[in-house]
Structures are given as structure tokens and as C-alpha cells.
A and B are shown apart, each in its own frame.
Chain A
Amino acid sequence: MAAALGGGAPNPSGAHRPARAAAAALDVARHAIAGSLGVEARSVVLTGGGTESCALALLGPRRPSAVCVSAVEHVAVRRSAEAAALRRSVPLIELPVDRDGMLDLDASLALVPDGALVSVMAANNETGVVQPVVELARRLRTDRSVVLHCDAIAAAPTRSLAELSDVVDLLSVAAHKVGGPPGVGVLVVAGDLDLEPLVPGGSQERGLRAGTQDVAGAAGLAAALAAVDEERGDGRVEALARRRDALGDLLEQVEGVAITAGGVDRLAGHLHLTLPGVRSEEVLMLLDRAGVAASAGAACASGAPQASRVLVAMGMDDRRARSAVRLTLGVDTSQEAWDRLGDVMVEVLGSLAG
């Protein structure tokens, strides 16, 4: 990132030498990002973060016949979908999920009308459950025309997105989730899909995202994506999933603990569990005091966990949903840290379950 700044932050749209250097650095970053995502460089639209990418994907398409989103989308997609349905005066259709939070494909296919804008995430940010987006795309496109957006923000750190980006029209990624800088995102826009920009202004990013580009941010995202590519290549992600499963097995021995969606394909670093009768807040406070930063999965504006909409959509009762704890683990966690985490979790869950 420092190199991309070149001792300042010149505007890559300028006509002078520093500007040309910035434009070149931006071009390099864009190509690298495109390479990591398995798309053409011209499809890469840089934005101010994942939420903005999702907003552009949902509010950009000019004439959808309906807006269809899964019941477990992140609030960034959900709220933009609601706004898009309102703005375009079209119905908002929720696509159902099963008890694991996996998209119900047959039910969804029956609900999506021709000409719809469809948004289904690559994997859920809370439970880590991987959605059948490739299959959805294939089956949708056999008999209807749709614009398909995929929020791949949670999946990007541990999953290759090349196969997904091949079959969807729009794909969102956030830099900070892959270890890059916050405030930088990408919306992959396939082909010549016509989108209405969110903000009027200059013609940067193919006219889809006005405003001077953040060259250093783009370089940071490119570097972060390259790093996660490497982690997938050398087996560290598989090792992460194995350690996650071992921790899950350990915690399931605490009376009452259930691992969420333990039997389905999940992101390697995600471990989501419930312990009915115990409150998420209390688990989190004890974990925090023991030096473990976990979350309950969803937070309102004041930071207080509420029963997660995702879990409610999965048919989970309120008492269980209010006990949810989500751990997101990285490939660089040492074995000592894993062992300690296991000990702390067992102690905390055991003390509150008693």
C-alpha cells in the first residue's frame, strides 16, 4: 500500500506524471484483484467497502421484475433489497432456507420470476454455511433470465471465488474480511450489465462509482487476496477446518451445547454454537475477560445482541437463538492458542450451563 501511495495520493485520473504512476499502480492492482477472483480486469469495480458493493448490486439494476433474496442474507444485502424493491416498485421475495440455513433450491426456483434480481450469499457470515449458488445459477438460467448477485464477503477469506464469479452477474467482496484495509470493496460486474450508479459524479470505474479512486486501498486488497490465495494453496485452510471440527467436538461435550449446521459444508474458520438457557451476552463477557473476542452473530446499533434473524429463519426457537456464540478463526492461530481457546470455552460454557 505504501508503495502504491508513491509518497502522496495522486489522482489517477490526472494528466501529469504522478497521476500516470497512480493510474499504473491502480491498473496493476485491478489486474491482480481480477486474477484472484477469476474475472476480467474491466469487470472489477472498486467501491468504498462491502456494504457499498452490495448496495450497488441491489440498487443498480434498472428494471428488475422482482427482488429475490435469501432469508439469511447479511443486513447489507437485506436493507438494500428492501430499498430496491421500494424504489423500483417491485415485490421483495424471500427465498427460504432449511434448518441448517441452506437455501431451499426447489422452493426458491418456484418463487423467482423471469427478469428478477436475485441475491444469494456465497456463505453465511454467522454460521459459515456455504450456499448452493452455482447450482442455483445453473437451474435458474435454464428457463429464465435473471440478474444474479452473490455476496461473497464472508466466503472470500477461505474459498476460491473463481467458480462463482463465472456464473453470477454481480459479486461483492470486502477487503477488510480478507485481511486488507477497511473501506475498500469490489463489485464484480459481468459483461455490459447496465447499472445505475449510487452517487452521481465522474466517470471513474466505468461510470459506476464516481470519485477519485483509492489506489493504496486497491493495492491493499490485491495483496490481501493474493495472501488468501496462498493460504488455500498450501493446505492451511484444510488444516483450519480440521482444527475447527476438533474444537467443535470438544465443545459438544459440554451438556446442552449444539454446533450449528455441523453436518453441512461450512467455511473453514466458522464455528457457531448454541446453549439454550444461557444468554449470548454472558458468554461473551466471560470470554472477553478471558481474552477471547467472540460475537453473538448479529448486533443492533447499540451493540447488544438480539436473536439473530438468520437463526430465526432457520426455524431456531428464540431461547436457543439468544444463546448463540460465533467464533471466527484464522489460519495463523497457533496450536497453543487453539488449546487455550478450547479450555476457556469449556470452562465458560460449563460455568454458565450449570
Chain B
Amino acid sequence: MNVLVAMSGGVDSSAAAALLLDQGHEVTGVTLRLWGGTSDSGCCSVGDVEDARQVAAELGVDHHVFNMTDEFEARVVEPYVSAHVRGWTPNPCIECNRHLKFSALLGAADRLGFDRMATGHHARIVASDGGPQLLRGVDQAKDQSYVLSMLTPTQLDRLLLPVGELTKSEVRTLASDRGLRTATKAESQDTCFVSSTIGRRGFLAERTTLRPGVLVERSSGDVVGDVAEVELVTVGQRKGLGLDSEGRRRVAVAVDPVAGTVVVASPEESQIDEVRFDQSSVTSTGAPLLPGEATLVQLRSHGRAMPAVFDEGRVSLLEPTDPVAPGQTVAFYDASTADLVRGSAVVAP
């Protein structure tokens, strides 16, 4: 097949391109230029584009660079800022996957006559009678199915995820055996457009006014402390609230930058047994979850999946857990086939 491989300049997508070549596909590499500003991490820097170009040259495949900085700004960066302004905690990787990699780029792959698009994500797509299924990667520790949980059957149909069958160490061995320069490259971390020199605080301060506020005890309504920037607090946060001495530990359970409040509760009181979401944000990788259907939910990229019951606009958790911030993604997995991704939703306040 004629495959367009999205190459980020990291080892996983390098290995994906190599694997597809070995499988006899015709491979073309493409790297997205996403971020016009300065960045030193993730898949946004000029250095990463250069790495992708070099790997493509080492593999002997064509390589192109697509500029999607405008789309990235509109679909990922601006929503990232406005979510913080509302006291939400966005997941920019998922929004980038949703709107850029698996929408704009996949559309381009179609127009350009490619049979499939591939990425280096650690997850698997397998065929079934009911259509393609999205499964966790073989390497459970590196599994990235959470950030792909918003994919639809139409998208899965046109995708290849070749490294999902490998462990991370197998990926590195493969890259190293091929002499690819990314074989030992460190993994990208954090938010790719936020450089470590300015951090999240500095980045947001450039684009919005960060406001001070107070910490309010949920049970009593008492003001129990203050906070320099309400927008930087995340629901579920324990550290950095000035309330971590023994016996006074508190967890942020609600963040309201407009009111200038962060509501806190004791770790025990803060536990939740339900996650609400806007039903319109629900996506399905195949057959949609039905109200009353048992499922497994994962609330963080590398969190544990927990048993729950799906319902319209909410899931009930069978065991209490730490609170999850609005704007985060809840990924649904199948109750009986634990590796099978069923869909996603965006957590509501």
C-alpha cells in the first residue's frame, strides 16, 4: 500500500516508517510544523523536523513538511488558554490528535492519494467482523490508546499503527539496528508548545491575566488560604496549595477563576464516584456504549482503568477515586475485553 507516515522526529514514528518499509509498503514521511513560537520539547521544534528529515533520508523515503501552525493555534493553543481561563484542565495532545493529525492530516493523505496513514502511537488496530477495533499497545507501560480514544471507525479504517505490536525496547532495538539517529532519543514530555524555560505559568501569563484567589474549605465554607494564580490550579491537585502539612492535607475539588476561588476538601471527602461529561462530546470507536452498560474508564494518560457503568452524560464508578478536572478526557474500554477501546468523552464541571 501507499502509506503516509506522520513522523514527529521521535523514535516511535521512525520505527513505524521502518516497519512499514519492511512490510513492503510504499512509504512517504510527513512532519507537521505545528508551533511557530519557541519550544524545546515534544514534537514542535525545528530540531525534531530535522530529525524526521534525517531518518527519512536514512530510510531512503521521501519526506515533506506540512505547516499547520495556524490550525494548531486555533484548535489546540487557543482552546488550551481559554480552558485555563475557565478553570478547566485541557488535554492538548488529544485535541491535536482530534483536529490535526487524524483530521486535517488524514484528509490531506486522502486527497494526495495515499491508501493509509500511519503514526508511531503505541496502540493496535485489528480487523473484526464489526469493523476495525482499537486496542491497547502490546507494551502496557507505554500504551497510548488513551490519547487515541476519540478516533472514529472511519478514521480507524484508514490508519496503521505498526509499533503497537512492539515493546518500547523492541522499538529502540529496531531503530538502533537500522542506524536511525533517533534510536536513543529521549521521549517527548509535557506540553509541546510550552518551553521548560517559561513553563505553564509563563506561557499562560503571556496570553491571559492570571488572577489571585482564595482557598475555600468545602465542608465549612471557610477561607483557609490563598493562591497566587487560580488558573494554574488543577482539580485533583494536592501539592502546592500550602495545605500539605500532616492532618491538614487538602485536595482541590473545584476551580473557579472568575469567582477567584479554589474549593478544597480532605483527601477522603474529595473522592468521587461519578464522572459527568457533555453527551455531545462522546465518541465511539465502534458500537456505542449503551446506558447501563458496564465499562472500564481511564481518566489519565497513564492511569489505571476502573470498572464503571455508562449512562447518558455520566459514568458511575464502582470504586471511589480522586477527582478529575473538567476538560480532561475519559477513555472508555470494554468491560470484557479490557484492551479494547470503546470511546471517549470530555469531562464536564
Contact = CB atoms under 8 A, between A and B. Distances in A.
B67 A284 contact: no
Contacts of A255: none
B64 A288 contact: yes
Interface stretch (B45-53, B192-200, B330-338): B45-53
A275 to B, nearest CB: 13
Contacts of A300: 33, 67
A305 B67 contact: yes
Contacts of B30: 285
Interface of B: 28, 30-31, 33, 46, 49-50, 53, 62, 64-67, 69-70, 108, 111-113
Identify whether the interface residues of A are mostly helix, strand, loop, or mixed.
helix
B40 to A, nearest CB: 15
10 contacts: A279-B108, A282-B112, A285-B28, A285-B30, A300-B33, A302-B49, A302-B65, A303-B53, A304-B67, A306-B69
A315 B149 CA distance: 42
A285 B69 contact: no
A284 B64 contact: yes
Contacts of A284: 64
Contact of B66 (A279, A288, A351, A352): A279
Interface of A: 279, 281-282, 284-286, 288-289, 300-306, 318, 351-352
A349 to B, nearest CB: 12
A300 B37 CA distance: 12
B46 A302 contact: yes
B205 to A, nearest CB: 26
Contact of A352 (B28, B31, B111): B111
B111 A282 contact: yes
Nearest to A285: B64
Given A286-B112, A302-B46, A303-B49, A281 B67 contact: yes
A304 B33 contact: yes
A171 B108 CA distance: 43
Contacts of A285: 28, 30, 64, 112
B62 A301 contact: no
A279 B108 CA distance: 9
B64 A301 contact: no
A304 to B, nearest CB: 4
Nearest to A284: B64
Nearest to B52: A302
Contacts of A289: 28, 62
Contacts of A281: 64-67, 108
A306 to B, nearest CB: 6
Contacts of A288: 62, 64
Nearest to B45: A302
A318 B30 CA distance: 23
A294 to B, nearest CB: 13
B66 A302 contact: no
Nearest to B4: A285
A279 B109 CA distance: 12
Which of A284, A289, A303: most chain B CB closer than 10 A?
A: A303
B20 to A, nearest CB: 17
B62 A302 contact: no
Nearest to B48: A302
A301 B44 CA distance: 12
